[in-house]
Structures are given as C-alpha cells and as structure tokens.
Amino acid sequence: MKKIPVQLNPYIKTRQAYEKLKICHSCGRFTILGEKICPSCGKSSLIKLEKKALSLQRRGIVKETILILALVAAGIFFSESTLQTSLCAAGGVTSLILLWMLRRNTRTERQSYQLGKLLQRESFKLVDGLRLDREAAIEVFHNDEKQQAYEMLREIGTLVRTDQIKVEQILLLQSFVLRKDMDLMLEPLLLDHFNPDLVQYMGELSKLKRGLLKEKAFRYALIHEAQILRMKDGEHILIGIAGAAVRLKRYVILYPHLVMRYARKLPKDRFLRLYNVIRNNPQHNWGALGAEVSEIYNEKYKWDTQFQ
C-alpha cells in the first residue's frame, strides 16, 4: 500500500478527558469533535460540558437563594413585632452570607458533582453522540479524507478506548508517511492482544520518536516477542525497540533480557549508549547483560575511540 504524505494538526491535550466534550444547548447532542455547529440540529448552540455544569450549578444557587428569601418574607409577613421582623431579616441576611461562603469554598467540588450528575443522567445521549461522531469519521474516511478521519478518531479515542477505535487509528497512521515533527502517540493505542499493524507502527516510532516507547510498549514487545519474530521484519523491529529501551538506565534495569537478546545487533550509536549506561553504573549488578555487553565490546569496539 502506497503511503500518503500528510500534515497532522497538533493534538490538544486537556487535564481531564471530559473537557473536550460539548453538548448542544438546543437538542442535547454530545460531541467531542470540536465542532461549532451542532451536527444534529445545525444550530450554533454547542457549549463545553463544564459550562453546562456551571450553568446548572448557578441555577441551584438561584433556587436556594429564592427559597431563603421566600422563608424570610414569610417570617416577616407573620411577624407580630418589630423585634421578630428584625430577627427574621437578620437571619435571612446571615443565611445568604453563609450560603455564599459555602458555595465559594466548595465551588470546585460542586462543579465536579454537577459534571458527574450530568454525565450520569445523560449517559445514553453521551454514548449515542460518540457513536455518531465515529460514524462521521468513517464517512470522512470513505470520502478519502484520511487525515481528517484520523484526527476525528484521535479525538473520539480520548473517551472511547475500545480496541476498534485504536485499531482504526493505527491503520490510518500506517497509511501515512510518518515524520519526526509529527504529533504522534503510542500508549493510548496499545492493545491487549497481538496486532501486526501496531508492531509495525512501534517499529517506525523506534526510528523516528524513541521517546514515545515507554514501559507499556516494552512489556508489549516482550509478551508478543515470539509472534513479532515470525513477522517479515520482526527481528529488525525488536532491535529497534531494544535500541529505544537503552535510552534510559531505568529501562535497561527493568528489561535486561529484551536488551540482551538484541544487544549484538544494535546499531553502533545505540550500543554505545548501552555500553555507557553499564560503564557509568558499576554499582549495579548487571549480571548476564553486563557480561554480554563486555563480550560485544571486546569483539567489535575495543579499539574504537568513541568507546574510550
């Protein structure tokens, strides 16, 4: 399959996944695609979920304020003396001040509560909205807009972490000409089962963006090592993954067997990195890995000035 060149838009990260959600103030449709116009009713009434929760929170404050004022008014109406009237008014003012202070001090907690309540109440609409978002992405894909389809699925994947969404993203990524300057990701796409397209993608990242390969990726490679080796370029991919692992001493310590099995075939720069990790940390018991690295060094690089 011929790969196509694309210019991916950067992925905007948020502290919480739900911060990307919008809800239509008119029809109640949920979407995560960053639209300005509601894809269901066509109105410009999409608002962020947090804004909706804040609106509900303010509505609650208004109701509580009205209730206090109504009670104060009733108390004043039925008062039989000036003293009782004054006490009712003072009690009302005090209650309003206490309510304001309580709301101010628990604003974040109450907003989180309103968000949770809203998501629970509208859970079916949320699921349906995300389903419609995916259908829109698939339609875009069939219109041969692969880049846009990937970016839409990437947004949906923020909340929908199913294997189906992950595999669809991986397949699209594998149809692109990947570059170092692209905003790529790996951990959100890792699967529980073996997938050759995911492995191919990991192999490309080991050349372009080693920093994306972390503990979960190395564990995936170890678990599925036998199946990867049966792939056409499986050993080459594992060499690249092992080369990414030597980036940090921590990974070398955690995955010594992965590194040791492919140390002899590492490119010179990656083996030099591994050699320096072991040489600069003599206090650690490197065991069989240390012996293997020493043997490779003596065989291939003993007289190389870069290793001195």
The helices-and-strands tally (H runs, E runs) of the chain is 14, 5
Domain residue ranges of the chain, discontinuous segments joined by +: 185-308
Find the helix or strand (DSSP H, E) in which 267 lies: none
> Distance (Å, rounded) from C-alpha 80 to C-alpha 130?
60
Q: What is the DSSP string of 237-254?
A: HHHHHHHHHTTSHHHHHH
Q: Kindly report the CA angle at 281 between 275 and 283, in degrees rounded to 5?
A: 135
Q: What is the pLDDT of residue 263?
A: 96
Contact 214, 221 (CB under 8 A): no
- Alpha-carbon distance of 192 to 61, in angstroms, equals 46
Residue 117: per-residue pLDDT = 76
Structure tokens at 160: 């929908």
pLDDT of residue 13: 87
pLDDT for 177: 95
146-185: buried (b, 16+ CB within 10 Å) or exposed (e) per residue? bbebbbbbbbbbbbbeeeebbebbbbbbbebebeeebebb
Are 11 and 154 in contact, with CB atoms under 8 Å apart?
yes
Yes or no: say if 147 and 175 are a contact pair by the CB < 8 Å rule: no
Low-confidence ranges of the chain (pLDDT < 50): none
Exposed, middle or buried by CB within 10 Å (0-12, 13-18, 19+), for 283?
Answer: exposed
What was the pLDDT predicted at 209? 96
